[in-house]
Chain A
Amino acid sequence: MVSKSSGFSTHARALRWSLLLLSGLFAGLTAAPVMADLPVFKLIIKDARFNPQTLEVPAGRKFKLHVKNEGPGVEEFESTDLNRENILPPGGSLEIFLGPLEPGTYKFFGDFHPDTAQGRIVAK
């Protein structure tokens, strides 16, 4: 049974969602040029090790981390401190957006080789 009120609320809901989508799109578009100016840091995974093992980054700023797995095994860039868990097959690469970080040390590790794949990001 369709009542008058349900028809109105459906319109209102549709309007709300479209506004939400539009604002999301707008936010995404305006954010894009900002992303392009971010400092980029490179991280290589090779032979079960991260290189470099310590990354110094500016505190309080967003930045990009470009991770590449040069193999031979699968590895994961994982950090409970940074809320990231990304698996990289050999040859794969990934861009991770991080920050802004408070000054401090944030550990990351490779779950597939926990003994050797250890690293940290130091925000200064």
Chain B
Amino acid sequence: MANVLFIVWRESLEAVLIIGILYAYLMRFPHGRQGLRFLWSGVAGGIGLSMLLALATLHIQDDLQGQRLQYFQTGMLLVAAALMTQMVLWMHKYGHTLKRNLESDMDKALSSGRLLGVSVVALLAVAREGAETVMYLYSLGLENKAGGWVSMFGAAVTGFVLALATAWAVSKGVRFLSYRTFFRVTGVILLFAAAGLLVSGVSNLIGMGVLPALMEPVWNTSMILDSNGRVGAIVAALTGYRSQPSLMLVLIYALYWAAALGWMKWRRGGGRTRVREESQPSRSSA
């Protein structure tokens, strides 16, 4: 039972965390509420897609179908990583202009393109974790252990509720942060999560033989934290950590961070100049 609770909690947590951050982003905008329906429709779509994915996975007849599904899942991972990264970079550029409440910036911020991005990120997050959870629960049903189906279902629901509670607690905690710190913290969380998705996607591509490993493993830190273990797997999902990574993974991970951080450093200079030009001299940011 504890196992069921922990697994459902773990699977739900990543999706709930991402959706929570998206929700917080939207609510920071004066007219953000209008964007919420994009978020919730993304969640709904994700639930639907997770059922389809679970069905597809459990009905694979041959290796070719299995491979096609893996390509699709890898695509989902890489698209999600790209969208989340883009979102953070965009927020980094426009985040500090939000306080000044310029009409043009608001329109830009809540353009349907941006909101569609929010919707898709939510959809992919829910579909990803949801499919695993659905298959896990289905598997439990098949095994029909002595504990009973009802208590197992109860443990699953509890795990999910705990994930919601964890996200709620985190959201209450971050309320004490200043505007700027909030965006910085959530930005870091999302970038690491995106890096984690990127690593998973690239790992799949290496496993499918699409990308070469180059050299494996580059290091072995499994005595410190094994990414195959319980805690290690969570760290792996949220950061992209691997205890025995291949050179290809290490290179792509390094490139990702160099690109993301480099972009932000470059952009920051341009953003500041714009603020100085347009804002009143007496105004100062918190």
Question: What is the bound-complex CA distance between A95 and B227, given in angstroms?
Answer: 24
Min Cβ gap A105→B in Å is: 8
Interface residue tally for chain B (C-beta within 8 Å)? 41
* 6 A-B contacts (beta carbon < 8 Å): A73-B139, A74-B135, A80-B242, A104-B220, A109-B228, A113-B3
Question: What is the bound-complex CA distance between A71 and B230, given in angstroms?
Answer: 23
Contact assessment for B203 and A73 in the assembled complex, using a CB-CB cutoff below 8 Å = no
A-contacting residues, B45-71, CB 8 Å: 57-60, 63, 66, 70
Contact assessment for A107 and B209 in the assembled complex, using a CB-CB cutoff below 8 Å = no
Contact assessment for B204 and A71 in the assembled complex, using a CB-CB cutoff below 8 Å = no
Is A37 located at the chain interface by the 8 A CB criterion?
Answer: no
A-contacting residues, B220-237, CB 8 Å: 220, 222, 226-228, 230, 232-233, 236
Question: What is the bound-complex CA distance between A36 and B207, given in angstroms?
Answer: 19
Question: What is the bound-complex CA distance between A77 and B135, given in angstroms?
Answer: 14
A73-B143, A80-B227, A106-B244 known; A87+B3 contact, CB < 8 A? no
Q: Which residues of B contact A (CB under 8 A)?
A: 3, 7, 57-60, 63, 66, 70, 132, 135-136, 138-140, 142-144, 200, 203-204, 206-207, 209, 213, 216-217, 220, 222, 226-228, 230, 232-233, 236, 242-244, 246, 249
Q: Which residues of A contact B (CB under 8 A)?
A: 71-75, 78-87, 89-90, 92, 94-95, 97, 101-102, 104, 106-109, 111-115
Min Cβ gap B146→A in Å is: 13
Chain B residues with Cβ below 8 Å from A115 are 3
* Residue of chain B at shortest CB distance from A80: B227
